[in-house]
Structure 1
Amino acid sequence: MTGDEKPVEAAGAGVRAAHGEAAPLALIEASGDLRDPVIAGWSEGAERLFGYTAEEVLGRSLLDTLSGRGGQEAFRRLAEDGSGAPHRCESARKDGSEVVVAWAQHPLRVGSGPPERAIYLGRHVEQGTSAQAPAEPEPGVAQQLLRAILDHLPIVVGKYDREGVFTFHDGKGTEAAGVKPGQLLGANILELYGSDMDASWGMRRALAGEAARDVSDVQGASWETWYVPVHDAHGEPDGAISVTLNASDARQKEIELRAKLQLIEKQQKVIRDLSTPIIEVWDKVLTLPMVGVVDSLRLSEVMDNLLSAIVSKDARYAILDLTGVDAVDTDTARHLIEMIDAIRLLGAEGIVTGIRSNVAQTMITLGVDLSGVTTVGNLRAGLKLCMRRMAATREAGRAPVK
């Protein structure tokens, strides 16, 4: 693959070369539920035939985008048929016109479960042909499509006999794996793995008749492999097929996305810490100024941080300053009282300051009982109260015992 050529476009080029340019060909990759698939790849032939660019259709429903008269039913028959035989129907163009297209669907199946992706090959046919008449299967189309996929997509396909010996080995992905197509023919894959049981478990399961999937890092690339068992006419295991996809780009994007999410979480934590800082305003006196809307989740996080700070700094008082709080609800008020009780259990005293008039009215309306909580008008008054109480405690400690 050269330049910025898309995989599905490259595969389309291979199919066009096999069929000739007389009949325009559209190669479309779709994913999800194949009864109503989502467009995941769009070739140049599809753009020429239907008028849509790839940017316009990627992520859209295939049925909603291309279905003309009777088109949705034809696409559903394709999904139910599964034989790869073409079905003709009228398909919609971007300009609103319709064109008769013979569609063939080739599911990409892994194991015994339903396929999650498929390649749709659409060939423009003459307008005079009935849209409802099923077309005869074109000989060799499946082989031509497979050849195009192997030559242009970053995959490696292998077939093995019941002993694990390669009988087929091909695909463009062999370049990144450091081998040539067919180089491993006649080799035993289990012997290549040697004593590495972790690396060979997927193939061993497939040879035993069970499908498997594995992700590994080889030759500096990330590979995702599906192992599919092959059965003979009597249903007994008779070898296996492996389909390996070079998932390095997707893996790198996943790593980058996780890194971004971690960065966002760290930034959110910094923002939360800045919005509710714990400040030691006096010896053994901590204050926690709160700003904005305080919800139960934020209060839960603040409680953990505040209780840890009380223990680490051996604080006697914790002032909860609500001057900047705009509103509270029932859960918030309940968490606030629980925080005061938790502070008291640590041998300290919680003092609430700066309750606004509207917040006070809300608490009364909600029936919040703050009778057991010390409240003062503002932070300055709260700090003075703490200083007076600590001074009184020291004086009581110096008084002679009679």
Structure 2
Amino acid sequence: MDLDPRQAFIYRDFFEKSPGLHCVVGSDGRFEHVSPSWTRVTGLPREALIGQEVLDRIHPDDRAAFVAGRGAEGEVAHESRFRCADGSYRWLAWSVSFDADAGRTYGLARDIEPERRTAKDAARRLALYLERSPVAVIESTLQDGIVVWSAAAERMFGHRREEAIGKKLIDLLVPEANVACVRAAVAGLMSGEDAGGRFGVHENLTKDGRRIFCEWHNAPLVGEDGEVRGVLSLVLDVSEAMRERARADENLERYELLMRGSKNGLWDYRPANPHQPLDRETLVYMSDGILGMLGRSSEDADAPRRLGDWGRVIHPEDAQRVMAIFLEHIQKRKDYTYLEYRFVRPDGSIVWVGSTWQSQWSEDGGLLRFAGALVDLSEQRKTEAELRDKLALIERQAGAIRQLGTPILEVYEGVICLPVIGEVDDARGIQMLEATLAAIVEKKASFLILDVTGVASPDSQAVERLSFIVRAAALLGAETVITGIRAAVALGALSNGGSSTEHLRTLRSLKEGLAFCLRARTLRGPNVGGPKARPTR
């Protein structure tokens, strides 16, 4: 083809400046012309390439494909590795056309080494992923069975790759009860009716006979002709997750059962902003137990649902105290607080609760979570009130009994009588002493009749306690007369204790004792004896 000078210039300029690797190869297979881009890519100067056999630069493994393209009719494309100036090989993508009349081959090569390296790196990463990933990758076809069996599949199901390749997926992994379901799913994928996706969690068999739960994600593999040639499956062993889920469900059922069967309740809230924990609009979770305490249900419009709603259900007398404790808990970033207060129900009834607060704080002081447990204390408080009333009644009765147990009788002016009935222990001895001395002073008594008729068999300690009363009465100027069937026995014990008998008489009966005191009072005068009449010695 004859070109005018202008056209020839354009063609030469294109050849020299094009980024593509243009070349002309003669009938002898040697370079006749190369564009400057060859030097940029291979490091070889144009002079070194021109006249050199092209095959000498092609990798030995790629020469057959290169030769097959030479002389072929039409445009031929192939890829081969070309040896550069430093001895390394770079991948080139060739597009060549043979001119039979001129006996030349015109070629355009493109440097695809970066693409090849990227693809190689991607393949390496994919292989590494398949090796280490917990997700099993399985590819299967209707004709060839399993064709891809990743390392994760080996670990998951126990079959080595060479054992699995060529086997039918259903025969290898699917329990008999699930075969029909899996066959229908595979048929849908192979026919194109099912676009794939999550197949769900199903029970599968392992090599050693165990049954595991796996989550399957399937996708049809479509060829260039649009036909489905196989199915790619991604499989994750979720057996442990299923067991954890079962345990969690069991614990939840147990918790809900316990909550329904008890008078306790739980509440919990998480501030939207940990550093603004007092947002009144923060939603608060409340168990049915709390709603029951409040006399409400979750459907009630006035049921407290936000942090700011709690103030209207707390008893007015407790609201300020509870708010102060709540603010202190937040401001001091406490982990634990316990308090008791009252709720007011819609019907006006009162319920006492014990509230335990637990908080979780971030490292920078933000409130991450605030939870609490409420216990209905109404029955306990009622029982405590009843117990206090009973204790008060018992105390009043005990006082009355004490008074009856130590009856100080003024039988005549200046004469008092202490009847002793039953045992005399330490507590009663002190009580009798205090009551007797107080009566001597109050009544200005000169005589004390200690009647022990009701004491069946006083031991030595009881006698000692009675003797102490006698000695104390003598110090206040009162003469003691002991009466009763066993008076002589008591007198002997008192004498052995070292007490003075100057103001002491023992008579057989209370009647004789009273008669003695009246005669002595008449003979000695009405003011004889007593706390104010006793002479000083």
| Alignment TM-score, normalising by the size of structure 2 | 0.42
Task: Give RMSD over aligned pairs.
Answer: 3.7
Report the identity percentage.
24
Matched, 1:252 2:376: no
1:172 partner SS: helix
Paired with 2:497 and 2:445, the residues of 1 have a C-alpha distance of: 27
Paired with 2:256 and 2:433, the residues of 1 have a C-alpha distance of: 63
Paired with 1:396 and 1:357, the residues of 2 have a C-alpha distance of: 27
Matched, 1:387 2:512: no
356, 361, 367: which is aligned to 1:227? 356
Instruction: Indicate if the aligned counterparts of 1:221 and 1:246 stay in contact, CA closer than 8 A.
Output: no
- Corresponding position of 1:214: 339
- Corresponding position of 1:68: none
- Corresponding position of 1:278: 408
- Corresponding position of 1:371: 500
Q: Are residues 225 and 395 of structure 1, via their aligned partners in 2, closer, same or farther at CA, if it must alter by over 3 Å?
A: closer
Instruction: Indicate if the aligned counterparts of 1:170 and 1:181 stay in contact, CA closer than 8 A.
Output: no
Paired with 1:359 and 1:214, the residues of 2 have a C-alpha distance of: 62
Paired with 1:246 and 1:363, the residues of 2 have a C-alpha distance of: 61
**Shift of residue 235, structure 1, vs aligned partner:** 9.3
2:424 partner SS: coil
Q: Are residues 369 and 170 of structure 1, via their aligned partners in 2, closer, same or farther at CA, if it must alter by over 3 Å?
A: same
- Deviation track 1:150-192 (CA, whole Å, cap 9, x = no partner) reads 4443233222446255522233343342444493222237866
Q: Are residues 155 and 358 of structure 1, via their aligned partners in 2, closer, same or farther at CA, if it must alter by over 3 Å?
A: farther
- Corresponding position of 2:294: 177
**Shift of residue 299, structure 1, vs aligned partner:** 1.7
247, 262, 277: which is aligned to 1:138? 247
257, 282, 301: which is aligned to 1:148? 257
- Corresponding position of 1:4: none
- Deviation track 1:333-389 (CA, whole Å, cap 9, x = no partner) reads 34323323433444433333226178449837x952333461312322322232233
Q: Are residues 324 and 197 of structure 1, via their aligned partners in 2, closer, same or farther at CA, if it must alter by over 3 Å?
A: same
- Deviation track 1:275-325 (CA, whole Å, cap 9, x = no partner) reads 432222111211011112221211212222333333333333221111221
Instruction: Indicate if the aligned counterparts of 2:293 and 2:351 stay in contact, CA closer than 8 A.
Output: no
Paired with 1:302 and 1:229, the residues of 2 have a C-alpha distance of: 56
Larger-Rg structure:
2
Instruction: Indicate if the aligned counterparts of 2:471 and 2:499 stay in contact, CA closer than 8 A.
Output: no
The residue identity in structure 1 corresponding to 2:294 is A
- Corresponding position of 1:199: 322
Paired with 1:328 and 1:290, the residues of 2 have a C-alpha distance of: 11
Q: Are residues 222 and 339 of structure 1, via their aligned partners in 2, closer, same or farther at CA, if it must alter by over 3 Å?
A: farther
Instruction: In structure 1, list runs of 5 or more residues that go unmatched.
Output: 1-134, 398-402
Paired with 2:322 and 2:267, the residues of 1 have a C-alpha distance of: 16
Q: Are residues 351 and 202 of structure 1, via their aligned partners in 2, closer, same or farther at CA, if it must alter by over 3 Å?
A: farther
- Between Structure 1 and Structure 2, how many residues are aligned? 262
Paired with 2:350 and 2:437, the residues of 1 have a C-alpha distance of: 48
Instruction: Indicate if the aligned counterparts of 2:340 and 2:353 stay in contact, CA closer than 8 A.
Output: yes
Residues 51-70 of structure 1 aligned to structure 2 (within 5 Å) = none
Paired with 2:527 and 2:429, the residues of 1 have a C-alpha distance of: 36
Instruction: In structure 2, list runs of 5 or more residues that go unmatched.
Output: 1-242, 529-537
Matched, 1:289 2:412: no
Select between 243-252 and 304-313 the one with higher mean Cα deviation: 304-313
Residues 45-124 of structure 1 aligned to structure 2 (within 5 Å) = none
Q: Are residues 141 and 202 of structure 1, via their aligned partners in 2, closer, same or farther at CA, if it must alter by over 3 Å?
A: farther
- Corresponding position of 1:311: 441
The residue identity in structure 2 corresponding to 1:394 is G
Paired with 1:141 and 1:218, the residues of 2 have a C-alpha distance of: 32
2:387 partner SS: helix
Structure scoring higher RCO (CA < 8 A, sep ≥ 6) equals: 1
Instruction: Indicate if the aligned counterparts of 1:166 and 1:187 stay in contact, CA closer than 8 A.
Output: yes
- Deviation track 1:59-101 (CA, whole Å, cap 9, x = no partner) reads xxxxxxxxxxxxxxxxxxxxxxxxxxxxxxxxxxxxxxxxxxx
Q: Are residues 312 and 371 of structure 1, via their aligned partners in 2, closer, same or farther at CA, if it must alter by over 3 Å?
A: closer
**Shift of residue 209, structure 1, vs aligned partner:** 1.2
Matched, 1:159 2:289: no
| Alignment TM-score, normalising by the size of structure 1 | 0.54
